[in-house]
Structure 1
Amino acid sequence: MSFKTIVFYGSYRRDRQGIKAAKFMINQLQERKHNVVFADAIEYDFGILDRMYKEYEKGQAPEKMAELAEHIKTADGFVVISGEYNHSIQPGLSNLMDHYLEEYFFRPAAIVSYSVGGFGGARAAIQLRAFLAEMGMPTISSIFSISKISDVLNDDGSLKDESLGKRVGRFLDELEWYEEALKRQRTERGTPY
């Protein structure tokens, strides 16, 4: 089965390290034949949230916002990548994702967290689980944490540390299970609302 998966990433920092995690996940998903859309907050820079996509009159939303809305509505699932900022998620990520709501409903999300230190962004991942659930996305039970990102991934997302490659297969197997199950439910039964 083929899946359309959106990878969300929200850092605006000049020397952003998490882009390595984004590239790594995109590469892994593409190897598994996913149609991947990369939703980078820098590329989809809508500014600080003033009006959600649904609050625009039909056809009046900014073109890039409407483009991403269509990708979200037609996605099978999401991989959401965040570093840890003050024990929480990146503000650029939450701002980007907050522009939408109903478009996410009944599609699974997988959490990837990272840090330059040893904790792997674990506290951000916990915050992200609550954030995504509130937006209508069930999260898979596994969290893919990447500690010391500079030591384990190259700039292009390739591996410096093979143990990361061994862990990612099971993580993506779980995401695909949920993508397939929820896609089947949406197709056969529709959604409750």
Structure 2
Amino acid sequence: MTLIEQLHQDHINLSRLLEVLELKIQRLKAGDAPNFQLLAELVEYIGHYADQFHHPREDQMYHYFAERDAALDQQLQICEAEHADLKLLSREITETVDAVMHDAVIPMSEFIERLENFVRRERSHLDFEESIIFPAIHAVAKAQDWPRLEQQLPQPEDPLFGEKQGEQYRELYKAMLQDVIAAP
């Protein structure tokens, strides 16, 4: 599997988690009691995995393909700026959920709005990469680029979707399966 295929699979996995988060938001809107621990795990995983593993690999790939096409370079700059913005946003939403878990008073409507904004921005970014960035890279890439690039990049083990699940995400994985199965 090439790097871009691995990154595409990450996007699929992150999209699944965003779907679970959207289901949780719908339940919050319906007045269900929130499982703040699960919300915390969801936003922490999405932000942590993207910030620590996914985006750095993408950024290295983007640098590798830089200066091959002027239009691609412009899109890569936008994408890298989005990575920085998403890192701040994920930190903010994680802090918001943490604050609520530690008895901070935030109106539920504001809390839901922040969660929805997080999901919207994450989805928009994934769509941008899938529809603009990845096809543009495919257009300029040569077959020999992928092995060279993959040698330069670490191969992180995904603690949720990888072969070995991290202990901290086992409950999140179970909840994700339950929500997907129980979804109408």
* Larger Rg over CA atoms: 2
**Shared fold, TM over 0.5:** no
Structure 2 length-normalised TM: 0.33
Which structure shows the bigger proportion of residues in helix conformation? 2
Which structure shows the bigger proportion of residues in strand conformation? 1
Higher relative contact order (CA 8 A, sep 6+): 2
Structure 1 length-normalised TM: 0.32
